[in-house]
Structure 1
């Protein structure tokens, strides 16, 4: 095709893309959407749209209807079907007409993106309610309408959260579906502005599920039964994996976690949101039992990663927002020598909710290494740890000796009983009763003998750790040598032996150790409260936290990491 004709064709297509009107006789699709709870019905929209199209002399080829679907969702079936058909060639219709732009999409970005795609393909997208002029000001009008629709969605979400938070604060359940083992009971809590009665829902134990839910908690608490065994016994849910959510839910201890806040506000004083199935102390024991059955999985990429803290560093901003997101190491394509950590939530989803900036690798890596140098890889810490080991071994030795003293007479008595039965069988002959008595006595004797042998071995294996002082010093020197090397996998493996995870904030980090930290440091054992339950991490958190002050001086090369006395040192 000659260049002149191509140019004219492109101009005509651009003019079509900017049309906010359709000529008489055009073939159109009608898209209708109805939000859950809207007072306006689909039928009323459909009647009005048919009348409008008839008055405009447009021919309706098809109506796409999404009923009871939020405008913030992209996965609306009829909406996606309309987009799929719009990509066919030749163009099936000339335009798509809507009741309002808010019916098309509530999200500002989604609305502008999909309208641009449709108009790029030659479709006119027209709203009946929104008065958008067909001139050069049309994009500005439409952009303002999209912003208003997004603002309405945000304000509505804020109002709903505020209302539900108030309801929860008053002690009422905010959802229509109660947890398994409870049922909701509707009660009057006041009156609306129009005089209608306002109702709330309180949680009470469901008699139909009470025994099975109580049994499930008892099995997990006393015998640390697996989810599969609990499922085979109780059949509370369809699949065994769902029991993890139940054992992770503080509501069964009478504490409701909503929006990251625990209700009632004075739950620590003994007040409860509803009648509990177990106590908080038993709930914490269940979490410890779950940890004993759990295992940590490390992605194979983290094992060969070229970044020191891969798999250990987590985003503190996302954690505060009840999301768990790791920090991923990356290289800057413009300057390959610049390496940094970035929140995986921001990297993978481009989330605007995470405010965590990128952090240079050298700043975070050296801060953690300096912390280990000052408080872990020291002779003083080794000495204190050996002293603790000595104390623990003394306790084990005393316990083993006590066991030996208790088990020795029991073994001797049971052995005499077995010998007496053998002598009786030799004189009288074997009978079914004697055979049964002998089997029971012999099994008990073997069980007690095994316990006695184990207790003696534990007493013999409990040695004085002072003799290992030289070996400990050699291990310390080896650890410091690994830290000084540039072998990232070895260095990361060494850090992983001491550090469970590192929560990174824009201005500080919190390091969770797998062991006791030095007594000279201020530390406390804490029960770490995460998004849903009171889950004990069983770690020691530096308190005050290790504070890394990240200060930018000029450009990237001017970044400076100053760590105060609570932290790990200073780097210029």
Structure 2
């Protein structure tokens, strides 16, 4: 017998959206499948004259978090400003969430948009009694999820200890086959994939011996070699990261370790908790150990201390003009030399980008020299900043508009913070809960940041009519010229970032891009001796 309809459902012409979910394909066979859930919800709506406008299906997703694309899309649609739905209907509350805190957070988000969450199998009623019953049910779902996870993990550990594979995707070079059947369950093991295994052997051969025309290749050269000859890592180009992973994976010498990492926390477990499995050998153990020794010998962390210490001047600013990728730091001669190099070429090889590398000190000197000659020269600064010597009405209007937006955002964040405190007061959340503490910290930091930006804008709006004077410009120029060349890496980096948004590098060409707005912010910051707000976009200043 269907549960009685809550009072809210008595209104005519209600529009609803349904959300259905199963955790895994195996659960879809043994639990209520997606099709069964859809059928039950459809019959529920037809029997009550509810317009079921849309159905969101989520196969193979856990309800312990919100990392579910269809769930997020459903929430976004249900809480849209035009209010397209009156109800979100689920088969049971466990389909919606198996975490009490998250369940209540998203239920309240729907309620704020005047959308009610309804379970067709759990009629909790309304008012305080309904809230209590729903809270108990969601807490029980959370408990049941934790118990299930504990039993599943124990079963997987036992399965691995018996030498069987636990169902995740195998490493490159292997495939999963059924070894035997126990009851209604298949017991699986790893077998060599004869289509992929030659790639693994080639990678180790290149690292140990080379390609026949040269000596042993480094990881980056191996990536270029593989991608240049059409090899693919299961359909995708090779990267430095997955070649490194192949060279370090003990599985290939016949020893695989299960339970190395906590999949939820993302943390590595202690070595004594790992479970060792014997698997078919692709790489001889002697060759594998030789590779490990060579990798350890070439580890940059074992090289002598670098000549240059402290922050790298242009990291995060330098871009490759050829492909648009970020420039990263490469070293040569065991760390004696440092280069800015295209990150895309470094990870995917020469086929991804033809951009080269440039000595770090050469590019640093070129950028600093250009800034000194073209930006902070005494005769140059007043012209660049002339547009800001007087506040314009348009500038004031923009600041007031931005101030109103910031105040509104702070009000929303303060409200979210108060709601978190209310959950604690009502006993529905614990301050010791890690997720709760993270959200609390996030909203506190956001309120603090917004307050700081609001105060900064308010000071700008109430400052004197003539905010930047020629005297202030001259003082700032002298300070900046000294800061750019005083030898303190951290200070040089800070001053450079005041003026530069991007440095694009190509063969024979360096393009420096910044904003005039950044110059105004820098001058004001040097006068006020306080942190200025993040500058908004303005006309570019480009130096070639």
TM bin (shorter chain)? 0.3 to 0.5
The two structures have a TM-score, normalised by structure 2, of: 0.46
